[in-house]
Amino acid sequence: MSYFARDRSWHPPALFPAYKTSVKRSPQAAPVAMPQTMSELTAPVFGHAMIGALDNDLIRNFSPTGEDALGPRIIVYGRVADEAGRPVPGALIEVWQANAGGRYRHAKEGYVAPLDPNFGGCGRTITDEEGRYEFRTVQPGPYPWPNGPNDWRPAHIHFSLLGRAFAQRLITQMYFEGDPMIWRCPIVASVPSREAVETLIAAYDPLATIPMDARAYRFDITLRGRRQTMFEGRP
Amino acid sequence: MRGASYAKETPSQTAGPYVHIGCVPNFCGIGGVYAEDLGASMLRAGARGERITIRGAVLDGFGAALKDALVEIWQADAAGLYNSPEETRGAADPNFTGFGRKAGDYTTGEWVFETIRPGATPFPDGRMQAPHVTFWIVARGVNLGLHTRMYFPEDQAALKADPVLSRLEHQSRAATLIAARTGPAEYRFDIRLQGAEETVFFDC
């Protein structure tokens, strides 16, 4: 049993000069191919017991007073499956994001937009037996960042995924359908094809929207799939 | 293309400078959401094996330490077993998780793992690999998480026979994967993203 080779031409290249920080942080030698061993075929798996009741509710999980965070209320939900279409149950999803004004709660962040005292910006959950997950949060704002003289990030939520194998480890970002900033962003542009970028854009889902409460966005995630034949490894 | 019946893996995007918020919120001052940062401690009392310390930094093409990197490690226990449901060879030490996660210090970029020396694990063909720790590195400017390994300098015979190290085309680069011993049970492993001593990263 092993995981399908990663299609590196589908992912951003290490060096993407329009994203300036990548210039001095991109390995220049090609990565060395090696077979997967137990080190790559295993991963830590965390039980649902680790997850607190508010861990996937960014509107409430930081608030010291119990008041809700400010901003457009949204549900982000979806399914984690592998490349072969099998659901990935038990996957740990960690998310982080700016607040509705585009400000991160971080010592190194200096954007003029104010912090929200009721918003921390982190959440986590574990996928269920069918690979499903959901979060409640506020829609993050776009914000300027020091790259070009006037670059802005589209609204986005960062996603970290830990599946069944360390070979599946992945960090990515989710964008919002219809945002014109997506197609102007150098970090988005590091993804080589429009087809691949489109898989990072969550679709507005009017049916899952909770009336008079929160809109819904659907973001399905695909982790590496695995080959599983009885002949594999047979000399 | 693998064929129409397969989905493509979700493309990677950089973890960015604020990865701490999501992955180590207590480290960056967001307290009260999770009791403890995931991977902050790898062992409980009773963990079997030799306790060791691994410290290091991730260095950019100028040789400067990254101040915003997040480093994860994953390794076998002292007996060479992984604490994972995918482990089929036996039960790993319940007092050792095998998983560590640390952010570089905001000022120095340095990270420190308190762990145990891993046992040897097999290669798919049955040969034994030298004991190693898997590293995964993300940071601002890193577009796809970087996968590498750390080996131990005193395992000379096992290093010479290691099936992964021996497949490196440039054998001089194997040295980039071997930690320096800095004291009793203390190791230093710096990860260089560029330059003549660029660390070997793996595609697997």
Annotation marks residue A153 as catalytic: yes
User: Which pLDDT tens digit goes with each residue over A83-121?
Assistant: 999 999 999 999 999 999 999 999 999 899 999 999 999
- Which amino acid is residue A198, in one-letter code? E
Distance from C-alpha of A145 to C-alpha of A108, rounded to nearest angstrom:
12
Question: Which of the residues A136, A156, A164, A226 is marked catalytic?
Answer: A156
Neighbour tally for B94: CB within 10 Å: 12
User: Which pLDDT tens digit goes with each residue over B31-55?
Assistant: 999 999 999 999 999 999 999 999 9
B126 has a chain A CB within 8 A of its CB: no
Residues in A closer than 8 angstroms to B29, CB to CB, are 105, 107
Query: pLDDT band for position A32 (50/70/90)?
Result: very high
Query: pLDDT band for position B174 (50/70/90)?
Result: very high
| pLDDT score for A228 | 72
Distance from C-alpha of A41 to C-alpha of B204, rounded to nearest angstrom:
10
Residues in A closer than 8 angstroms to B134, CB to CB, are 39-40, 166
Neighbour tally for B181: CB within 10 Å: 14
Determine the residue of chain A that is closest to B96 in CA distance: A44
A14 has a chain B CB within 8 A of its CB: yes
Q: What does the block give as tokens for B35?
A: 């009791």
Does position A234 have pLDDT exceeding 70, yes or no?
Answer: no
Query: pLDDT band for position A177 (50/70/90)?
Result: very high
Please state, rounded to an integer, the average pLDDT across all residues of chain A. Answer: 96
B194 has a chain A CB within 8 A of its CB: yes
Q: Which position has the higher pLDDT, A230 or B34?
A: B34
Please state, rounded to an integer, the average pLDDT across all residues of chain B. Answer: 96
Q: What are phi and psi of B71, to 5 degrees?
A: -120, 130
| pLDDT score for B143 | 98
Annotation marks residue A156 as catalytic: yes
Distance from C-alpha of A97 to C-alpha of A100, rounded to nearest angstrom:
9
Residues 137-196 of A with CB under 8 A from B: 158, 160, 164-167, 169-173, 187-188, 190-191, 196
Q: How are beta strands A143-145 and A92-96 bridged, if at all?
A: unpaired
